[in-house]
């Protein structure tokens, strides 16, 4: 059955791969990111393959922007019943160097953004009696040096997920989280630059630590999200799936 999905942070990386995968699954997809113009490539990839997509610019941490964005999606694609909260930023630093703005910015985009988007979309899901929410967490939720803000945000995403599953389950809505390990994206490149290591060297070193012997890619995460959004996953809720090439990588 065709549904309408919203994927946040979908201009590139994991978000773009997820939006493309959900479109391939037969859904209409709202490609949402901070700058609508940056969504063009993802939208083109979907429409060129015969799918339906809409570029939407919105700051997920802004309540009014979220309300307006969801209303636009409803008007142009149909009531959204699938939500993937993928939008995120990094402001890595050791605790003693981390500014309050570094902390607040990361928590705001990840957690406040997921809260606002989920609150807006759940109204359509409850009305439909069906819905899927997938939140992007991370292996960093288990703790990671230089990422106190990001780790806290990604751990918070897991608590939010489990609570949404409890509150919304009676309305036919499931909520699950995907926790990627080392995934090659532009955000990964930022990390390599921050520590002063070349990208190829950084990938090789990290891949050597992964039990399956390779780095992960956005399509690996998109496949997991696709499952959680499927009809067949209706009895799976409140779960955190680590997609990391091993127990922790």
Reply yes or no on whether 242 is catalytic.
Answer: no
- Asked if 162 and 237 touch (Cβ cutoff 8 Å), the reply is no
Q: What is the pLDDT of residues 66-76, one digit of tens each?
A: 999 999 999 99
pTM, whole model, 2 decimals? 0.97
Q: What is the pLDDT of residues 12-67, one digit of tens each?
A: 999 999 999 999 999 999 999 999 999 999 999 999 999 999 999 999 999 999 99
Give the distance, in angstroms, between the CA of residue 206 and the centroid of all CA atoms in the same chain: 22
Mean pLDDT of the chain: 97
- Asked if 228 and 240 touch (Cβ cutoff 8 Å), the reply is no
Q: What is the pLDDT of residues 117-162, one digit of tens each?
A: 999 999 999 999 999 999 999 999 999 999 999 999 999 999 999 9
Q: Which of 134, 174, 125, 193 is nearest to 158 (CA)?
A: 134
């Amino acid at each position: 059955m065709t549904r309408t999905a919203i994927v946040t942070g979908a201009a590139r990386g994991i978000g773009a791969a997820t939006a493309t995968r959900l479109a391939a699954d037969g859904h209409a997809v709202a490609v949402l990111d901070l700058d609508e113009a940056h969504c063009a490539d993802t939208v083109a990839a979907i429409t060129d393959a015969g799918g339906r997509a809409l570029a939407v610019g919105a700051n997920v941490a802004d309540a009014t922007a979220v309300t307006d964005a969801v209303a636009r999606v409803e008007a142009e694609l149909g009531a959204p019943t699938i939500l993937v909260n993928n939008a995120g930023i990094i402001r890595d630093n050791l605790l003693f160097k981390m500014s309050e703005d570094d902390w607040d910015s990361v928590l705001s985009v990840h957690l406040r953004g997921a809260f606002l988007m989920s609150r807006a979309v759940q109204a359509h899901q409850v009305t439909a009696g069906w819905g899927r929410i997938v939140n992007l967490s991370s292996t960093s939720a288990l703790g990671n040096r230089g990422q106190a803000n990001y780790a806290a945000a990604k751990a918070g995403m897991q608590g939010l997920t489990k609570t949404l599953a409890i509150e919304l389950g009676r309305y036919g809505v499931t909520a699950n989280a995907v926790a990627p390990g080392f995934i090659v994206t532009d955000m990964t490149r930022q990390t390599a630059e921050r520590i002063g290591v070349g990208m190829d060297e950084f990938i090789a070193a990290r891949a050597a630590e992964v039990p399956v012997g390779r780095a992960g890619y956005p399509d690996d995460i998109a496949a997991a999200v696709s499952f959680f959004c499927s009809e067949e996953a209706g009895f799976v809720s409140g779960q955190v799936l680590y997609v990391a090439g091993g127990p922790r990588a």
